[in-house]
Structure formats: structure tokens, C-alpha cells
Amino acid sequence: MSNKETIAAIATPPGVGGIGIIRLSGPDSLSIAEQLTQATFTPRSARFCHFYDANHTRLDHGIVLFFPAPHSFTGEDVVELQGHGGIVLQEMLLSRVCELGARLAQAGEFSERAFHNNKIDLTQAEAIADLIESGSQAAARAAMRSLQGEFSNQVHQLVEQVIAIRSFIEAALDFADEEIDLLTDSDIQQHFYDLINQAQLILQKAEDGRVLNEGMTLAIAGQPNAGKSSLLNYLAGYDAAIVTDIAGTTRDVIREHIALKGVPVKIIDTAGLRDSTDPVEQEGIRRAWLEIERADVVLLLIDVTRGITAEDLAIEQRLHNIPVKRLLTKLDLLPASRKTELSALAISTKSGEGMDQLIDELTLQYQDYNHDQTTFIARQRHVEALKKTLHHVHQAESIFNETQSGELMAEDLRQAQLCLNEITGEFTSEDLLGRIFSSFCIGK
């Protein structure tokens, strides 16, 4: 894809700084830089020059770098103008390059051009945005791994595995009447087995990468009055939720984004879970379950003075797929003599007892998502695509085991491949691309 328009944007963050960079990409980048500076440039070498306006008055001076196509970030001619950092100054320079023929870049347009010119694939483009916005060191490292292509490579390997089975099945369809040397059933079984294993492994890593990227979602659940909103307020550091001694105070879902020792966490306070006849409370409980079942970790709060009840056990049972951590609350109400016999971590939001340990355990849990340092950054979109891939592969496998209908298997495997290609952007609608890139910052 070749772009005739030359785009320009301020690439450094808005505000005052020592250096401000304007980046140009497109066929006129070099001639715009030459007119702006009245100088000429050698590829990839820094040259100090003055920047002039239309009346030949000096606007600023600085360093100019020229990266000719295709050896640049976007794959097009790119010029960087490194002047002084200052909002007004940078705006003046940007207006000047637009006068000379550039137009303002849209959000993510540099990355989008890099993608269209095959400099990076979609997961790498997303990793750039995620790297910039990463909220923790683990997330930054995982984003770097994705940017270096680790995630894409693993997806490509899966695609190869799908293609291997597809080509066999499609050959079997095409040459159904001929005697040719085809794989045996057990060979194919083995191919399916390897493919499913590999896809599950990558899905697991992508799910972990999604948590590293977007932060850990922590739902606070429990019976009414267990102390859920008090915990949210304690962790958030302000009175985000209403706390009263009336059971059933919280109805709406309350979300707070916080950092626990640098770990990004989305905490969700929910309505107390119980059988209720009040339609408002019922709706609150319905919404509570929606959030709880989607969380990465659930804290099940239990009033220590009441102990674990059948209702608590029922809540735990319903959550068998999600890590649930029991947390005893209101520890300050317990006489010191009984504090030694507790079966789970206990806290008090009144006295602060147990809070450091809770925060330590939660941050440790986050490190788990970064196990063996191989997690790559991922997004919900990738997780969904991998789940769809697995669904189609499973379906193809069961057709193979049952009817062996070649056409149906071929169709499922084709769908599986499309889902994988959507991750790296080889088969992604313009709509989706537009949505992804528009969430990037301008200048990227």
C-alpha cells in the first residue's frame, strides 16, 4: 500500500521539555525538510540546521534526521525534526510543515502505515501502544517480547500446524478416487493432538499477557455487610463506596483503578450476595455475579465474627473455575486469644491489621501472570480469537473422530486459520484495523 500523502505530528509528549520532536512520513518528507531548513540531508546522519517560516524568519533550530524508504519505522521516507520542546514552538513548526505540504497525522497513523508496509504485524503494532502505556515493569517486558515478534511467531507456528492438517484433508477430498499415499488416521490424530496442545498453551499465555496488560481484575464478593465496600475504600484510599451497617447497602457495581505496589489492579465492589425479594437488590446481585464470574481473582469476604457459613460455601462452589481467595474481615472485633486459630488470611479495615499481607499476596499473584518470563503482552481481542480457533479445531477433531466428513472438517479448519490470521492482521477487516489504530496516540 503506498500513501501519497505526507503526514506530520508532534511525537514527544505535550508540555514543556528540553527537546520536542516532529515526525514526518511520506513521499514529500525530504522536500518539506529541505524547504523548512534550506539545507540538504544525507540518510541517517544528524544535521544541525535552522527552521524558517515563510518569510524566512527563524522559528527554531535543531537536529534533522532523514530515514529514506524502506528503512524507516513506517517503511516510507521519514524525517525527524528535533527542536526545542515547547507547546507554542512545536505548534508553529507543525503549522509550517503543513504549509509546505504535510497534513496532520491521525491517531496511530504512523503505526498503521508501518503495518500496511509490512514493517510490523498487528500484534507488534499493538505491542508498541501497550509498551508506551504499560503500568508495570512486568507489563513493559512482556510488551517488548510481543514487539520483538514472540507472540506473532507462535501464532504463525499454529497457522502452519493448521495448514498441515488442512492440506492433507483437502488433498484427500480432491483425490478421493485415486490411490495416493495419504497419512494414516493415527498420524492425523497426532497432528490434532499437537495442534490443540499448542493452541491451549498459547491461549494460556495470552490470557496471562492480557492481565499484565490491562491489570488484574479483582472482584470483592461476599454476603451483605461482610465489609466489601470498606475494603474497596481502604484500597482506593478514599470513600468511593457508601458504607453502612445496613445489609444490602451496595447495589451498583463500583470500579476503581488503583496501583498496589506498582501493580495495576481494577477493583470491583459488588452487591452482597443473598436471596432477596427486592427487585432493585435482585438486579444488583445479578450484576454482581456478572462481574464476579469475569474477574481474574475473587476475594470472598467473610465476617470473622460469623465464620464461614453454608452460603459462603455455595458462593465458592459456583466459582469453581476462578481463583477464589477467602478473606476474613473485621479482625479487630475478635478477641486476641482467638486470632491464632484462623483458617484464612484475616484483615481489618478499621485497625489495618492484615492489610500489608493482603497487598503482598495480591501483588505476588500478579507476578504469577509473568511466570517463567515468557509471557507476551496480549489483549482481550487476541484471547477471543484464540478461543475461537480452539473451538473450530476441537470441532474439526470431533468430526474426524465421528463422521470423517472432509468438507465439514475443511471448513472448520479454514475458520480456525482465519481466526489466527486475524490476530496478526493478515485477515482483519478495515473496520477493526481502524478501531485498533485510532486508540493509539497521535505521533505513533
The binder of 348, among ligand GTP, Mg ion, none, by C-beta within 5 to 8 A per type, is ligand GTP
The binder of 111, among ligand GTP, Mg ion, none, by C-beta within 5 to 8 A per type, is none
CA pair distance 252, 51, nearest whole angstrom? 56
Residue position matching grid coordinates 470513600: 239
Using rule CB under 5 A, residue 250 touches Mg ion: yes
Strands 216-222 and 263-269: parallel
H or E segment at 124?
A: helix 122-133
CA distances from 412 to 166, 195, 286, 417, 441 (A): 10, 14, 35, 9, 37
Nearest Cα neighbor of 223 from 335, 307, 346 is: 307
Question: Contact, 159 vs 421, CB < 8 A?
Answer: yes
Q: Which is nearer to ligand GTP, 119 or 228 (CB)?
A: 228
Q: Which is nearer to Mg ion, 170 or 252 (CB)?
A: 252
Say whether the peptide bond before residue 335 is cis (omega within 30 degrees of 0).
Answer: no
Bridge partners (DSSP) of residue 324 are 298
Q: Which is nearer to Mg ion, 93 or 226 (CB)?
A: 226
Least separation in angstroms between CB 324 and Mg ion: 19
Question: Contact, 213 vs 142, CB < 8 A?
Answer: yes
Does residue 51 sit in helix, strand or coil? strand
H or E segment at 142?
A: helix 137-147
Question: Contact, 73 vs 110, CB < 8 A?
Answer: yes
Question: Contact, 328 vs 346, CB < 8 A?
Answer: yes
Q: Which is nearer to ligand GTP, 243 or 393 (CB)?
A: 243
Binding segment for ligand GTP among 6-14, 33-41, 131-139, 345-353 (CB under 6 A)? 345-353
Number of residues this chain uses to bind ligand GTP (CB under 6 A): 24
Using rule CB under 6 A, residue 249 touches ligand GTP: yes
Q: Using the rule CB under 6 A, which residue among 117, 152, 329, 370 binds ligand GTP?
A: 329
The binder of 268, among ligand GTP, Mg ion, none, by C-beta within 5 to 8 A per type, is none
- Residues 393-432 binding Mg ion (CB under 5 A) are none
CA pair distance 191, 392, nearest whole angstrom? 15
- Residues 261-320 binding ligand GTP (CB under 6 A) are 271-272
The binder of 416, among Mg ion, ligand GTP, none, by C-beta within 5 to 8 A per type, is none
* Other C-beta atoms lying within 10 Å of the C-beta of residue 164: 15
Site string for ligand GTP, 217-246 (x = CB under 6 A): -----x-xxxxxxx------------xxx-
What's the start-to-end Cα distance of the chain, in Å? 18
Q: Which is nearer to ligand GTP, 8 or 254 (CB)?
A: 254
Using rule CB under 6 A, residue 330 touches ligand GTP: yes
The binder of 349, among Mg ion, ligand GTP, none, by C-beta within 5 to 8 A per type, is ligand GTP
Q: Using the rule CB under 5 A, which residue among 229, 349, 365, 415 binds Mg ion?
A: 229
Binding segment for Mg ion among 28-36, 86-94, 245-253, 385-393 (CB under 5 A)? 245-253
Q: Which is nearer to ligand GTP, 330 or 444 (CB)?
A: 330
Query: Between vectors from CA 345 to CA 342 and to CA 346, what angle results, nearest 5°?
Result: 75
User: Where does this chain bind ligand GTP (CB under 6 A)?
Assistant: 222, 224-230, 243-245, 247-250, 271-272, 329-330, 332-333, 348-350
User: Where does this chain bind Mg ion (CB under 5 A)?
Assistant: 228-229, 249-250
